[in-house]
Amino acid sequence: MDTGTKNKITVDLSTGELLGSPVQNTVRTLRDLQGIFRDETARLAMDLDQTVYSVQVLMPVPEGSRGGLFWGNTFIQPGTVGDEYFMTKGHFHADRSRSEYYLGLAGKGALILMDENRRTRFEILERGSLHYIPPHTAHRVANIGASVLSFLACWPSDAGHDYQAIAAEGFSARLRNVNGAPTLVEEA
């Protein structure tokens, strides 16, 4: 008899952790983030095995399927590379028409958004803050606090990740610690 507990997934609402299976887990260390931070010398001087962030993803349908939704949780450790906060790689959706929701769970972060005209801005991401990432908008998250930043995400199963555009051109501005304050600094 199906008791309703099969494949049950729960979200620990204090941390955002997804409990149950099947959940995929991806860990990004400083080694994996070559070319992401401005100060490559500073990155290489750090422990490259250090985890910067990890992502748990629930994929009830195959990647690329039309009509499905994925659910994920991202944990970003506190830290900096030079004057830049630990952050995700960031991506456009491969299908630029696809959007996404983020919900802050723990810690303090910044959701950095860049439109296709390369205009960049950020929104403070914290426990309870809900963020709609519109279509045609690159997004990345930085941990600007002193504790682990955790946020939930929901996006279409056919959105895909385009990391190439960011690898080639980056964001037009970087969130840097300027005299203790997170400040968007335009790239020269």
> Smaller CB distance to Zn ion: residue 85 or 155?
155
Question: First-to-last CA distance in the chain?
Answer: 63
- For position 158 contacting Zn ion by CB under 5 A, the verdict is no
- For position 143 contacting ligand M6P by CB under 6 A, the verdict is no
> Smaller CB distance to ligand M6P: residue 72 or 107?
72
Min CB(41)–ligand M6P separation in Å: 23
Min CB(187)–ligand M6P separation in Å: 18
What residues from 148 to 187 belong to the interface with ligand M6P (CB under 6 A)? 153, 155, 161
From Zn ion, ligand M6P, none, interface partner of 98 (C-beta below 5 to 8 A by class): none
Q: Segment contacting Zn ion (CB under 5 A): 2-10, 26-34, 74-82, 97-105?
A: 97-105
Min CB(91)–Zn ion separation in Å: 6
Q: Give the span between the Cα atoms of 112 and 71, in whole angstroms.
A: 20
> Smaller CB distance to Zn ion: residue 100 or 158?
100
Per-residue DSSP letter, 63: T
Site string for ligand M6P, 64-103 (x = CB under 6 A): --------x-x-------------xxxx--------x---
CB 84 within 8 A of CB 38: yes
- For position 100 contacting Zn ion by CB under 5 A, the verdict is yes
For ligand M6P, the binding residues (CB under 6 A) are 55, 72, 74, 88-91, 100, 140, 153, 155, 161
